[in-house]
Structure 1
Amino acid sequence: MKTDRKILFQQRFERYYPVLCHIAAGYLPDSDDCEDVVQELFISMWNQGRDDMEEKAFLAYLKTATRNNCISFLRRRQRLQTVSTDDESARHLTDTSDTDRPKDYGSLLDTLLEQMPPKCREVFMMSKIQKMKYKEIATALNISEKTVENHIGKAIRIIRTYAAQNPTLTIVALCSQIINLGLWNIH
């Protein structure tokens, strides 16, 4: 039984590794980083015993996890980057007396995403970052397409409400961060 698991896992790795690296390349510019993220995902799947899923669910899970891991990778990298004094003024979104509001673009996006319920955030990210269609999201999460639409609508309302409640927040700064992380494409 253990040998069969290894063989199946190796076959899936060989089949999906290039596909997942391609997905990761949509988020990460460095191919080595893409490969690292995908390899770590497979190691995690093996260690957690999550490789026993049905083929279609396994692939859907891998695609979503690849996207999420890429986003986490970018967030970690962004937090580690130091900001030069020339860039410091551009990073501030509010005055220094307002401690409840985020001071940089990364924490702004984190704040917006944290305000969303977990399932809403997951659906929003699958739609806007992974560019999955509503039907694909519904299938991957085992929910109806109408539920997907409702989650997307709720996420957009949360973003609009936050922007309305924070008049010192510049829309340009918000849009800049959203575009940089691939939530919206500019053609």
Structure 2
Amino acid sequence: MSKETLTSTFTELRKGFLRLAMRFLPNKEDADDALQEAFFRLWKHADQIGSREEAEALTVVTVKNLCIDTLRRRNHLPTVELDENRDESISDSTAESMEKEERFRMVERIIELRLTPLQQQILHMKEYEGKKYNEIADILGMQEPAVRMQLSRARKEIRECYLKQMER
């Protein structure tokens, strides 16, 4: 794909990309900055992008990731260091992995912002540490049904917030 094709695709779809960025960011200037940075990143690898559809998909993923990174910096949330050479081998599998990474970040953000500290703690022990309900209950001094209820509410909140984000 030529740089002209990337430019024309980006220009044609710019309003849609801007709307996407504005769903994440509070003002138009930040959204414009995210678009400009996304275009710059893709421009360096325009000859590796195979089609207009791939250019559109990569732009969407890149814009979303840049918006999330901007919000994290602004809120002093921890970020994951990215491999600087990651953009040098853009392919379909890279686009898929970038999309998965973006979805994972979205879920992490929902957990950080929407769940209570108790729900976060229970979710961490169950999902990351693999503890059983009775172990979690003993550690936290709770009844097992209360642990199950907190986890159920946490999962429901994550699911609802995630689906709302994906509708945008």
| TM superposition score normalised by structure 2 | 0.50
More helix by share: 2
